[in-house]
Every structure is written in C-alpha cells, then in structure tokens.
Amino acid sequence: MDLDFFARTTTLAIENKNGKTTLLTADRNKIHCLHLNDSLKVINKLLLLDDPDILVKAKYMGSFCNGNSYSLFFYDDKKRDIINYKINYDSISVSSIKRLDLINDDEFYFDATNLNDKIQIITCNVNNSDIIINELNEDGSSSRKVFSALSLDKASFDIIVKYMLDRENDYEQINYKYDMNLNITQAYNKLYAFDDQLIVTHEDLKNNKTDILTLNLKSNQISFRSVSKPNVKFYSTHLNPSNSLIFEDKLYQIVCGQTMIRLAVKDFYSGATIKEFKIEEDEEISFKNGPILFEAVTSDPPISRELKDSKQLIKKIFNSTAAISLTKSADSIILMKLGAFLGFKAYPRGVNGEGTIYNPSSESAVITGGLQTFPPANNIADSYSKHIFIKSIYSKLAFINSFLQENTYIPIKGEIYQSVNEKMVDYQNIIITNKASMVTFPHKNSYILGYYDDDKKKYNLVEF
C-alpha cells in the first residue's frame, strides 16, 4: 500500500470479527490508524494526535471490536495511566481517555490478560501484597476482585512476594492461540489464562520445583502449590537448568544435569507423572525427529547447523537456559521442541525502545534484564504474534523436534515442516531493513507480515 508518510514504527494490528483490520503505525509526529478490508486494502485513515512514542513505550493490554469501532487499552508505566483509545471509522473520529480510575496509588501494574471476552488488568498492593483483578467488559463497565496472599501460609506468602509478584522480574505470557517457541517459553516466570483461572508460575532452580499461584476468577479463590521436578545429579557450583510449561491440563518439566536431561509429563491438577523421557550423553535420542539443530539468527549471515550428538546438546543446555515448547496439529499430534535458549542479541532502537542486550544465567532463579520495555510488553491478542516474531529474529537456540501421540505420548515419525514464524524470520533476514516498522498478525487462514520499504516509500503486506 502507498502511504503519504514515513512509517517509523508499527506496533499493532487488530483484526475484527468481520475480517477488517486496524493497523497502527507512527511517523515522527503522529499515530496513523489504517482501516483495512478483508482483502487488506485501505478503506479509511484516521490520525491519532498523541505522542507517537506511545506505540513503543506503552504496554498494550487488549481491545474490543464492534463493527467499525475499536476500543484499545494501553498502560503507560511512566505516567501510571491507563489509556483508552476509541476509534470509530463510521464517524471518522478518535478519542482518548488518559486516566481510567482503576489503579489505586498504593498499587503497581503487574500485567494484563484477555479471557472470556474481557480484559483482566492485574495490579498488586505494595502494602499488603493483595492481588487485584480489574475486569473490563465490552460495554465499558468493570468489576474489581481482590485476592489476599496473606490468606495463605507464611512459606507460600514469602515465595509469592519475593519471586512471583516482583515487578522487576521478566515475565512471559503464554498464549495458546499462536505457535509457541523456545524464545518465549524460556522465561522462568510465566503467566497463563485459561479455564476461568489466571496462573503464575515460577521456576525454583535451587529447590528443583515449579511454584504455581492460581487465581480462580469464578470462585474468587487464591491457591499456591509447588510441584517437584525430576531428580538429576546436582553440582553445588552450578544449578541445574530447568523449566516448565503448562499445556492442555498437563505440566511439562525439563531438568538438565551435566550428563543427562530428564523430561516429565504430569497431570497439571494432581501432579501425577504420566510419562517420562531421558536423554543421556552417550546414547542416541530415541524420541527425536530429525537432527539436533543449532540456530543463531543473530549472526550475519544467520547460522543453522547440526550438532553432532546428545553430549553437545546437553552441554548447550547445561551452560544456558532449558526450555520446552509445544503445539498440536489438526490431527492431534503434539510437536515438541526441547532445547537450550542461548540468549538475545541487542535489539535495534525502536524495536524494543531501548536497544538493550540480554543474556540469561542458569545460576539465577530469577531472570532480569532489558526485556521489560519489549513491545508489545504484554502479549495480548494479535500483538502476540509480533512478540514471538521479533524475539525469533534476535535469538540463539539449540534444540530437537519430536512428534508425540496425544494422551499416550508415544514418539512417532514424521516430517518436520518450517513453521510460519520461521518462514517470516527467513524473509525479513533477506528483505527487510526497517525492522521497527514490522508487524505480524493472523488473517483468515494465514499470517501477514507488514513492513515499510524505505526505498520505494511503500508499506508492504506479505501473506504466509
């Protein structure tokens, strides 16, 4: 599409139920709202006369779409404002509400989720560690639910306050709508939203367990428990890298020692072990499909090569961060990636707003670093696909692929195809120079990669 302005950054694309899409992009002075039909042709344009940096600095929380009107919610951490942009293409108008009176002065913003066609804004009280959920409805009404961490025993309360409600921790929200990858699931702190529950998990490497905090939005109950991980020989000078992932009512836990990897599949609610896998340094990996891969998209040119044996994979994981990702095909086959997350390259300024560099350490149970300002900082709705995509561009991984039968978890053979996200990463490596202008979003039965071509002065939308 031809644009009469320079698309400095593109942060958000939101698809409506009628197949239309709103694309938010910014030049140096304004935010431009582009309304696209189901053929991705521009049918309306609006100007949002606000700070264009809001698209980079604010945290997108979610949106409601009704016909040709959109209601978008952002959190401005610097001003502690909830910003509500109302876009109406029928009346050709944009309005913004700079302050929604939902967060009290003694609360700090934690995160936001989308569940049951509502937006959940999560805050924490700095005085008593209450967890507050403000639910926004499409009609503009809201309800406030308070969960008291003090109602739990002291040991649970101490873990929650120290590790799970720390605003400095690096959290990843897990969204099952999109293909997951190791760049996302490597985080030691995760937030899930499913079955009327908000669940926060924390990986306790020192005590080899997964801590689970559950907020039930239906019963208004708070609960906490810890699930032990498989035992692997522990070396006092080096904590064993470990991680977990909740997927379809199962808890997957991976632990890597100096000579062995163990993976347990457990019932999420009971903690009972259903299946276990092992990788030993002097043995072939019986459940992998294809070779052991090492990928460094951060390199110029990008590197993709095979690792020789199990020992090399174990060494990569042991000296970095363990991670596992899971997706399921239409025929109920589980695709599992298991491997090492080896770090991020510095992001160009404008891609994450800071140009920071981040390298994980398996010697710390709490990952901190320069990811807090990564846009969209909250992986809500259709912004999540861009979050996955951008992280894929600046990461290094070593991993295996496996196909597993649903319920039995028996390994099966099959051909591993390149994912849509991987295809988009390859495309941008060759074609795109203006990384800050990129956006990705699902459309119909495919994904769209958008970017501004500086030379041709055009904004391109490519279907994958």
86 sits in which H/E element = strand 81-88
Determine the distance from the C-alpha atom of residue 342 to the mean position of all C-alpha atoms in its chain, rounded to a whole number: 17
How far is Cα 10 from Cα 3, in angstroms, rounded to an integer?
Answer: 13
How far is Cα 246 from Cα 255, in angstroms, rounded to an integer?
Answer: 15
The pLDDT value recorded for residue 371 is: 23
C-beta of residue 224 within 8 angstroms of C-beta of residue 179: no
The pLDDT value recorded for residue 431 is: 81
pLDDT in tens, 137-176: 888 789 999 999 999 999 999 999 999 987 777 688 898 8
Which of 93, 71, 193 minimizes the C-alpha distance to 133? Answer: 193
Tokens 């632990």 -> residue: 255
How far is Cα 237 from Cα 96, in angstroms, rounded to an integer?
Answer: 54
The pLDDT value recorded for residue 396 is: 82
Torsion, Cα 179 182 188 191, to 10 degrees, reads -10
Largest CA distance in the chain: 68
How far is Cα 414 from Cα 426, in angstroms, rounded to an integer?
Answer: 23
The pLDDT value recorded for residue 301 is: 67
How many CA atoms, within 13 angstroms, populate the side-chain half-sphere of residue 124? Answer: 14
- Sort 152 into a burial class: Cβ within 10 Å, 0-12 / 13-18 / 19+: middle
Torsion, Cα 459 20 141 62, to 10 degrees, reads -40
**DSSP-H helix ranges across 299-456:** 310-318, 384-393, 420-431
C-beta of residue 297 within 8 angstroms of C-beta of residue 351: no
The pLDDT value recorded for residue 367 is: 23
Q: Tens of pLDDT along the chain (464 residues)? A: 766 666 777 768 887 777 888 888 877 778 888 899 999 999 998 887 666 666 667 788 889 998 899 998 988 887 788 888 889 999 988 887 777 888 899 999 998 999 999 999 999 999 999 999 999 988 878 999 999 999 999 999 999 999 998 777 768 889 887 778 898 899 999 999 999 999 999 999 999 999 999 999 999 999 999 999 999 987 767 789 999 999 999 999 999 999 999 999 999 999 999 999 999 999 999 999 999 999 886 566 677 899 999 999 999 999 999 999 999 887 889 999 999 988 754 433 333 333 222 222 222 222 222 222 222 233 333 456 666 666 666 678 899 999 999 999 999 988 877 778 788 888 887 787 777 788 888 888 888 888 888 888 888 889 98
Structure pTM?
A: 0.86
C-beta of residue 175 within 8 angstroms of C-beta of residue 190: no
The pLDDT value recorded for residue 255 is: 98
Q: Which residues have a Cβ under 8 Å from the Cβ of 227 and sit 6 or more positions away?
A: 209, 210, 212, 244, 251, 253, 266, 271
